[in-house]
């Protein structure tokens, strides 16, 4: 077991060495524009097995395969015309498509399913590693199973530092929440499995047809086959250890009455007294959903590391693309059990 993990700066020499680690069947945590991923050669079953062990992830939970090009995407999954439309509109970017799987992908990667989740990431360092490694890379979020996804190299080290050898530091992630996952196995019936920065409305507009929401707690094929939902679908996921309660708007004055609890507001409270209280935190100073998304997982980790008895968070207001994604993650963090 490699220990402890080294954080590498993205020098050309380090990138080449880390590509070698991937080619030899090793694990490297890499930055993407959404969250950090724990990468391995997607076509090497033994390498991907190491991902499951490092994360403590159940073998029933399939991985996302990251690709550099459309041709590579078509090598791992069957790109139907609807998938090509979405790829043209949103790739490279924070969109994962669940497609019929090709045989080349080991069963371990897809948890034995007939489908594979494919994403073409935008982060220049991840793309460079795909190019250097010369193969698709399987990568779930680089956190112990069920915990909050990492948006910095330090987050990865805090969670997996004793279980993996290498972390590539690309600074904080630009988006901050995981990709939108869309089930496109049946192109006439697209189903949103996980909300992210690419909104349901944007997907529907690009496809020219409505996109259904997955019924809560299901994943379509994943559930039918294994009887277990994928964790993106688990009610409790992305979770701090400190109990978290999610409510509609919290009155600014409430924090003063409960000093042993941490209050996570969407926006910085307007009065100075409220904003300066030690137990008051917020996701954005300006009301920007983008800023809130970048901060969400870091705030949850920070609050979880404090001595708070409980965390009270308020739902994210507004209709922007990221509001459903942020409320989805907050709701999962608040759920008591899976
Ligand atoms: O932004 C992201 O998607 C990040 C970065 C690293 O790319 N990755 C990520 O991976 O969030 P992970 O494993 O934490 O979440 C992948 C989600 C899980 O909910 C998994 O169950 C679902 O995608 N998934 C993967 N393959 C699937 C399949 N064949 N059918 C249905 N769901 C699938
Ligand atoms: Mg994850």
User: In tens digits, what is the pLDDT along the chain, a chain of 338 residues?
Assistant: 556 899 999 999 999 999 999 999 999 999 999 999 999 999 999 999 999 999 999 999 999 999 999 999 999 999 999 999 999 999 999 999 999 999 999 999 999 999 999 999 999 999 999 999 999 999 999 999 999 999 999 999 999 999 999 999 999 999 999 999 999 999 999 999 999 999 999 999 999 999 999 976 554 444 444 444 454 555 556 678 899 999 999 988 889 899 999 999 999 999 888 899 999 999 999 999 999 999 999 999 999 998 899 999 999 998 888 999 999 999 999 986 54
| CA atoms of 315 and 17, how far apart (whole Å) | 43
The CA-atom distances, in angstroms, between 123 and each of 32, 98, 111, 132 are 5, 21, 26, 14
Query: Who surrounds ion ligand 2 at CB < 5 A?
Result: 141
Ligand 1, atom nearest to 38 Cα:
6
Ligand 1, atom nearest to 143 Cα:
14
Query: How confident is the model at residue 338, as a pLDDT?
Result: 47
Q: Residue written as tokens 């395969």?
A: 65
Ligand 1 atom 17 nearest Cα = 232
Question: Residue 76: which residues within 8 A CB-CB, separation 6 or more?
Answer: 42, 65, 67, 101, 102, 104, 105, 116, 118, 136
Ligand 1: residues with CB < 6 A are: 32, 34-35, 37, 61-64, 94, 96, 98, 110, 113, 115-117, 119, 121, 139-141, 178-179, 181, 193-194, 219, 221-222, 230-232
Structure-token pair, residue 1: 């077991």
Instruction: Of 53, 20, 32, 249, give the one whose Cα is nearest residue 141.
Output: 32
Task: Give the ligand at the shortest distance from the Cα of 237.
Answer: 2
Query: How confident is the model at residue 273, as a pLDDT?
Result: 86
Residue length of the chain: 338
Cis status, amide bond into 24, omega within 30 of 0: no
Which residues of the chain does CATH 3.90.870.10 include?
6-225
Task: Give the ligand at the shortest distance from the Cα of 177.
Answer: 1
Query: How confident is the model at residue 274, as a pLDDT?
Result: 87
CATH topology for the 6-225 domain: DHBP synthase (3.90.870)
Structure-token pair, residue 218: 């299901």
Query: How confident is the model at residue 221, as a pLDDT?
Result: 44
Task: Give the ligand at the shortest distance from the Cα of 228.
Answer: 1
């Amino acid at each position: 077991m490699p220990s402890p993990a080294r954080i590498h700066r993205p020098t050309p020499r380090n990138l080449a060495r880390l590509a070698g680690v991937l080619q030899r069947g090793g694990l490297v945590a890499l930055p993407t524009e959404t969250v950090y991923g724990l990468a391995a050669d997607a076509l090497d079953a033994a390498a991907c097995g190491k991902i499951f062990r490092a994360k403590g992830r159940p073998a029933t939970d399939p991985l996302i395969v990251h690709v550099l090009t459309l041709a590579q995407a078509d090598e791992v999954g069957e790109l139907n015309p609807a998938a090509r439309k979405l790829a043209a509109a949103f790739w490279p970017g924070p969109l994962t498509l669940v497609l019929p799987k090709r045989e080349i992908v080991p069963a371990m990667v897809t948890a034995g399913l007939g489908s594979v989740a494919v994403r073409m990431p935008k982060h220049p360092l991840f793309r460079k590693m795909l190019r250097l490694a010369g193969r698709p890379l399987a990568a779930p979020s680089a956190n112990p199973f069920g915990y909050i996804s990492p948006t910095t190299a330090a987050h990865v080290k805090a969670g997996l530092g004793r279980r993996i050898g290498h972390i590539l530091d690309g600074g904080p992630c630009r988006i901050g929440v995981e990709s939108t996952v869309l089930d496109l196995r049946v192109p006439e019936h697209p189903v949103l499995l996980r909300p992210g920065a690419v909104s349901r409305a944007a997907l529907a507009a690009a496809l020219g047809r409505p996109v259904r929401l997955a019924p809560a707690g299901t994943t379509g094929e994943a559930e039918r086959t294994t009887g277990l939902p994928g964790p993106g679908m688990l009610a409790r996921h992305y979770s701090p250890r400190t109990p978290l309660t999610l409510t509609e708007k919290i009155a600014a004055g409430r924090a003063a009455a409960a000093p042993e609890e941490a209050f996570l507001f969407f926006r910085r409270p307007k009065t100075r007294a409220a904003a300066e209280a030690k137990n008051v935190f917020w996701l954005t100073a300006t009301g920007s959903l983008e800023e809130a998304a970048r901060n969400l997982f870091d705030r949850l980790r920070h609050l979880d590391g404090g001595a708070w008895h409980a965390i009270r968070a308020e739902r994210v207001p507004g209709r922007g693309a990221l509001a459903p994604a942020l409320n989805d993650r907050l709701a999962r963090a608040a759920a008591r059990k899976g």
